[in-house]
Amino acid sequence: LAWLIHRGVIEKTPVSELTPVFLALLAVLVIRAAGQGLQTRFAARCSEQVRRDARRQLHHHWKATGPVNLADTSAASLAREWLDHVEALHGYFARFLPQMTLSVVIPLAILVLVFWLDWLAGIFLVLSAPLIPLFMALVGMGAEKLNQQHFETVSRLSGQFLDKVRGLTTLQLFGQTEAASRTLENRSDQYRKITMKTLKVAFLSSAVLEFFASVAIAVLAIYIGFGLLGYIEFGPSDELTLFSGLLILLLAPEFFQPLRTLSQHYHDRAAALGAGAEILARLEQSVDNAEPIRPDNGISDHGIQMSGVTLRYGEGPVIFNNLDIRIKAGRVIALTGPSGGGKSTLLHLLAGLIRPEAGAVSVFGEAPGNQPFGWLGQRGFWIQGTWAENLRLTTPDATDIAIDYALRQVGLGELVDSRADGIHSRIAEDGLGLSGGQARRLSLARIFLADYPLILLDEPTAGLDATSEVFILEALHKLSESG
């Protein structure tokens, strides 16, 4: 463009001779835009791969940790790790890292060209360029810590909000809704303050860069203008032409543009470092990955066997000490004992949710957890959808006839007949729309439908009324008779 203006204004070149060069300039601009689009697309794809790998590692860690050990972590915190923390990595890998490379390559290339045109103008750029990243680093030094505090605050706020919503009925019964509201209000105010601090740092870093870039471009414009007018006779100023001066002025904004863009994405880096610290803290938590040793002799592929099992939680008392158990396939076993006696812990061992310190556990000749099993505890799991969709969570290929049969086996036949949509009647999340007993029986119907070789029941009638308890016991009797 500078060459075209120089030829047209100074050398009075006809427009017809400049037209091919002008068309070539337009083609270069199109190629540049296409290249930027490809670079953005490639960076987004790399970011997607990184986030997919992060979620895969989180999933493997959660799976290795098990639901028993994860029970101390709120569902809101886990959801934020999976969604917000991982998504915060996108800006760093899709925008900041590519832009950091461009911020080195493009200014260096422009600097070489400017030094060739006018070494004094090149010195101006060299002197101004280091100031920008220096002040950006000084301003953004606390940005990473602020973003980590931001993630921690949001995690606590979301966890408390979810707990309050789940326990809303209990809070109303005990008259604690006002206190809960004040707690959430205080947490929200803390979140507002930390958010404003983070935004303050982001805006301040951008303002610092814009200031130094504007000053540097203004100094160059003054030097070139006075040099062309002949007021400056120092260095190469007397060799300045309209072409070289205009080209330097056009290149100066391009010299600072990558740094400007980098400053805009600087908060992406801070957010990613804060989120990455949370993700790494989760992944670095110790997990027992040791496989339990199976008994060497007398293993039966048709039953359950425990040999010399010893277990304790942390530094607490020993729950099982050298426990030996043999259960043949097809047996129905009831575990009785006082609260805290280890009944649920034994079920967790059989399900493979926890590992013993010593000894071996074999379920149908396999390590616990390798065989499919049905689980019914005091709390079930239901999704928002139809009854059929909830039952198909474990048996996706189940027919409507099989689902209807399973529901009738657990005493929900009359309820199905009373609904216009039958098995396609809808329920909300956590079984809302059904009574506690009906929701528990719906979970039991899922076990009927799946036909598991091993079924583990952890106080399935706890908290139910007498009628619902009878239905559950009758359904369990049918289940035991069916083998």
From 370, 405, 427, give the residue that closes a domain. 370
pLDDT over threshold 70, residue 13: no
pLDDT over threshold 70, residue 205: no
108 and 54 in a common domain: yes
pLDDT over threshold 50, residue 229: yes
* pLDDT-based confidence at residue 483 (cuts at 50, 70, 90): low
**Residues 6 or more apart whose Cβ sits within 8 Å of residue 103:** 258, 259, 261, 262
Q: Which residue has the tokens 């300039």?
A: 25
Question: Tell me, what's the pLDDT at 207?
Answer: 72
Over residues 71-77, the mean pLDDT reads 70
Q: How far apart are CA 422 and CA 407, in angstroms?
A: 11
- 453 backbone dihedrals φ, ψ, rounded to 5°: -75, -20
353 and 261 in a common domain: no
Q: How far apart are CA 407 and CA 74, in angstroms?
A: 32
Q: Does residue 272 form part of some domain?
A: yes
Question: Tell me, what's the pLDDT at 39?
Answer: 80
* pLDDT-based confidence at residue 156 (cuts at 50, 70, 90): confident
Tell me the pLDDT tens digit for each residue of 111-130: 888 888 778 888 888 887 77
Tell me the pLDDT tens digit for each residue of 330-342: 788 888 878 777 8
Question: Tell me, what's the pLDDT at 293?
Answer: 47
404 and 362 in a common domain: no
* pLDDT-based confidence at residue 17 (cuts at 50, 70, 90): low
pLDDT over threshold 60, residue 31: yes
pLDDT over threshold 50, residue 272: yes
57 and 150 in a common domain: yes
Q: How many domains does the chain have?
A: 3
Identify the residue with better confidence: 135 or 277.
Answer: 277
Residue-range definition of the domain harbouring residue 359: 303-370
Tell me the pLDDT tens digit for each residue of 351-366: 888 888 888 888 887 8
Q: How far apart are CA 165 and CA 180, in angstroms?
A: 10
* pLDDT-based confidence at residue 436 (cuts at 50, 70, 90): confident
Poorest-pLDDT segment among 171-185, 286-300, 301-315, 415-429: 286-300
- The token duo for 408 is 């009738």
CATH number at residue 171: 1.20.1560.10
From 341, 370, 399, give the residue that closes a domain. 370
pLDDT over threshold 50, residue 202: yes
Q: Does residue 47 form part of some domain?
A: yes
Q: Does residue 30 form part of some domain?
A: no
* pLDDT-based confidence at residue 138 (cuts at 50, 70, 90): low
322 and 199 in a common domain: no
Question: Tell me, what's the pLDDT at 12?
Answer: 65
152 and 72 in a common domain: yes
Residue type, 186: N
Identify the residue with better confidence: 407 or 265.
Answer: 407
Q: Does residue 215 form part of some domain?
A: yes
From 314, 347, 370, give the residue that closes a domain. 370
Q: Does residue 141 form part of some domain?
A: yes
Which letter, b or e, does each residue of 87-115 get, where b requires 16 or more Cβ atoms within 10 Å of its Cβ? bbbbbbbbbbbbbeebbeeebeebbeebe
232 and 124 in a common domain: yes
pLDDT over threshold 60, residue 297: no
Write 459-464 long-range contacts (CB < 8 A, 24+).
459/377, 459/378, 460/376, 460/377, 460/378, 462/378, 463/378, 463/436, 464/436, 464/437, 464/440
> Are the CB atoms for 143 and 136 separated by under 8 Å?
no
The pTM of the full predicted model, rounded to 2 decimals, is 0.62
Q: Does residue 290 form part of some domain?
A: no
Q: Percent of the chain, pLDDT > 90?
A: 0
Over residues 246-268, the mean pLDDT reads 79
391 and 352 in a common domain: no
Identify the residue with better confidence: 283 or 313.
Answer: 283
* pLDDT-based confidence at residue 290 (cuts at 50, 70, 90): very low
Identify the residue with better confidence: 76 or 107.
Answer: 107
Question: Tell me, what's the pLDDT at 173?
Answer: 76
135 and 271 in a common domain: yes
Q: Does residue 69 form part of some domain?
A: yes
339 and 202 in a common domain: no
Identify the residue with better confidence: 374 or 232.
Answer: 374
Q: How far apart are CA 289 and CA 291, in angstroms?
A: 6
Question: Tell me, what's the pLDDT at 3?
Answer: 59
Over residues 426-435, the mean pLDDT reads 76
208 and 187 in a common domain: yes
> What is the pLDDT of the chain when averaged over all its residues?
78
Over residues 248-268, the mean pLDDT reads 79
Over residues 8-25, the mean pLDDT reads 65
pLDDT over threshold 70, residue 400: yes
153 and 83 in a common domain: yes
CATH number at residue 340: 3.40.50.300
pLDDT over threshold 70, residue 304: yes
CA 214 from chain centre, in angstroms, equals 39
CB hemisphere CA count around 154 (13 angstroms): 18
* pLDDT-based confidence at residue 28 (cuts at 50, 70, 90): confident
Q: How far apart are CA 117 and CA 229, in angstroms?
A: 18
Q: Does residue 68 form part of some domain?
A: yes
